[in-house]
Amino acid sequence: MEAMAASLPEFLKKIKGRGQGFYEVLDDTKTADSIEVFAKKTSGRYEKIVVLGIGGSALGTKCLQQALLPLFKMRGNMAANVADKATTPAATMGPIPQLHVLDNIDPTLLRDLDATLDLKKTLFIVVSKSGDTIETLAQYFYFQKRVQEVGLKEADHFVFITDADKGLLREIAAKNPNIQTFEVPKNVGGRFSVLTPVSLVPAALMGLDIRQLLHGAQMMRDVFLNLDAEKNLCFQLAAIQYLLGQKGKTINVFMPYSSHLIGFTEWVTQLLAESIGKALNEKGERVNVGLTPLRAVGATDQHAQSQLFHEGPNDKLIVFFEIENFGEPLAIPNPYPDHPAVSFLKNATFDQLLKTEKQGTEQSLIECDRPNITIRLDCLDEASLGGLFMLFEGATAFLAEFYGINAFDQPGVERSKRLGREILKYI
CATH code at position 173: 3.40.50.10490
265, amino acid identity: T
Q: How much is the average pLDDT of 400-407?
A: 97
Out of 16-20, 69-73, 79-83, 363-367, least confident range: 79-83
Q: State the pLDDT confidence band at 420, using cuts at 50, 70 and 90.
A: confident
Spatial distance between the Cα atoms of 309 and 365, rounded to a whole number of angstroms: 8
- Assess if residue 46 is contained within a domain: yes
Q: How much is the average pLDDT of 230-258?
A: 98
Spatial distance between the Cα atoms of 342 and 24, rounded to a whole number of angstroms: 52
Are residues 284 and 343 both part of a single domain?
Answer: yes
Q: How much is the average pLDDT of 279-302?
A: 97
406 burial (CB, 10 Å; 0-12 / 13-18 / 19+) is middle
Q: What average pLDDT is seen over the chain? A: 92
Are residues 167 and 135 both part of a single domain?
Answer: yes
Q: State the pLDDT confidence band at 84, using cuts at 50, 70 and 90.
A: very low
Active site residue 303: yes
**Catalytic site residue from 266, 274, 362, 401:** 274
Residue 272 has pLDDT above 90, yes or no: yes
Q: What's residue 91's pLDDT? A: 43
Are residues 392 and 251 both part of a single domain?
Answer: yes
In percent, the amount of the chain with pLDDT more than 90 equals 86
Q: State the pLDDT confidence band at 151, using cuts at 50, 70 and 90.
A: very high
Contact in structure between 386 and 259 (CB atoms under 8 Å): no
Q: What's residue 72's pLDDT? A: 40
DSSP SS3 for 144: helix
Q: How much is the average pLDDT of 285-291?
A: 97
Q: State the pLDDT confidence band at 93, using cuts at 50, 70 and 90.
A: low
Q: Are strands 372-377 and 316-323 parallel, antiparallel or unpaired?
A: parallel
Are residues 125 and 273 both part of a single domain?
Answer: no
Q: How much is the average pLDDT of 274-281?
A: 97
- Assess if residue 392 is contained within a domain: yes
- Assess if residue 420 is contained within a domain: no
Q: What's residue 73's pLDDT? A: 41
Q: How much is the average pLDDT of 215-223?
A: 98
Out of 174-183, 313-322, 413-422, least confident range: 413-422
DSSP alpha helix (H) spans, 178-303: 197-205, 210-224, 233-246, 262-276
Residue 322 has pLDDT above 50, yes or no: yes
Are residues 199 and 281 both part of a single domain?
Answer: no
Are residues 252 and 380 both part of a single domain?
Answer: yes
Active site residue 274: yes
Are residues 235 and 127 both part of a single domain?
Answer: no
Contact in structure between 154 and 174 (CB atoms under 8 Å): no
Name, in order, each residue with C-beta under 8 angstroms of 426's C-beta and a sequence gap of 6 or more.
none
- Assess if residue 93 is contained within a domain: yes
Residue 86 has pLDDT above 60, yes or no: no
- Assess if residue 151 is contained within a domain: yes
295 burial (CB, 10 Å; 0-12 / 13-18 / 19+) is middle
Active site residue 417: yes
Last residue of a domain, one of 163, 180, 213: 213
- Assess if residue 427 is contained within a domain: no
When divided into structural domains, the chain yields a total of: 2
**DSSP label at 343?**
G
Q: State the pLDDT confidence band at 253, using cuts at 50, 70 and 90.
A: very high
Out of 52-66, 94-108, 343-357, 406-420, least confident range: 406-420
Q: Are strands 278-280 and 286-289 parallel, antiparallel or unpaired?
A: antiparallel
Are residues 381 and 255 both part of a single domain?
Answer: yes
Out of 55-59, 191-195, 334-338, least confident range: 334-338
Residue 82 has pLDDT above 60, yes or no: no
CA 94 to chain centroid: 26
Are residues 269 and 331 both part of a single domain?
Answer: yes
What phi and psi, each to the nearest 5 degrees, are found at residue 49?
-125, 130
Q: What's residue 100's pLDDT? A: 96
**DSSP label at 165?**
S
Residue 74 has pLDDT above 90, yes or no: no
Residue that wins the pLDDT comparison between 16 and 420? 16
Q: What's residue 81's pLDDT? A: 35
Spatial distance between the Cα atoms of 104 and 123, rounded to a whole number of angstroms: 18
DSSP SS3 for 162: strand
Q: What's residue 184's pLDDT? A: 97
Residue 71 has pLDDT above 80, yes or no: no
Are residues 35 and 70 both part of a single domain?
Answer: yes
Task: Show the domain range for 331.
Answer: 2-8+228-408
| pTM across the whole model | 0.92
Contact in structure between 395 and 238 (CB atoms under 8 Å): yes
Q: Which residues of 66-87 are buried (b: 16+ CB within 10 A; e: fewer)?
A: bbbbeeeeebeebeeebeeeee
Spatial distance between the Cα atoms of 102 and 399, rounded to a whole number of angstroms: 31
Are residues 97 and 195 both part of a single domain?
Answer: yes
**Catalytic site residue from 303, 328, 422, 425:** 303
- Assess if residue 190 is contained within a domain: yes
Last residue of a domain, one of 150, 183, 213: 213
Residue 196 has pLDDT above 50, yes or no: yes
Residue 66 has pLDDT above 70, yes or no: yes
Are residues 151 and 49 both part of a single domain?
Answer: yes
- Assess if residue 371 is contained within a domain: yes
